[in-house]
Amino acid sequence: MKKNAAIGNWRYAILALGVSVCLVGAFLMVAGEGILGESHSGIAAVVGIIGIGLISTSNTRMASKGLKESRKQTRIAE
């Protein structure tokens, strides 16, 4: 497996983890009272924010890879 392919797989893994964490936060917001008690909305909000951060991190890494590849192609073309 190439190094770039392995890095690309990690980006998608981070994206999937972020979506999963967001879904867990949404579940805690809806049904968290039975699991965490009365004050569950704060914990659910923090979990959701962490998931959104993971999603944005994966998208930033995907965009930076595309930018690096386009720069390489521009240099090759010149």
Domain ranges, residue 27: 3-77
Rounded Cα–Cα distance for residues 59 and 27 (Å): 24
For the chain, the residue count is 78
What value does the mean pLDDT of the chain take?
Answer: 82
How many domains does the chain fold into?
Answer: 1
Q: In this predicted structure, what is the pLDDT of residue 16?
A: 94
Average pLDDT (3-25) is 85
What is the tens place of the pLDDT at every residue in 18-60?
A: 999 999 999 999 998 888 888 899 999 999 999 999 999 887 7
* pTM, full prediction: 0.70
Both tokens assigned to 30: 């809806």
Q: In this predicted structure, what is the pLDDT of residue 49?
A: 96
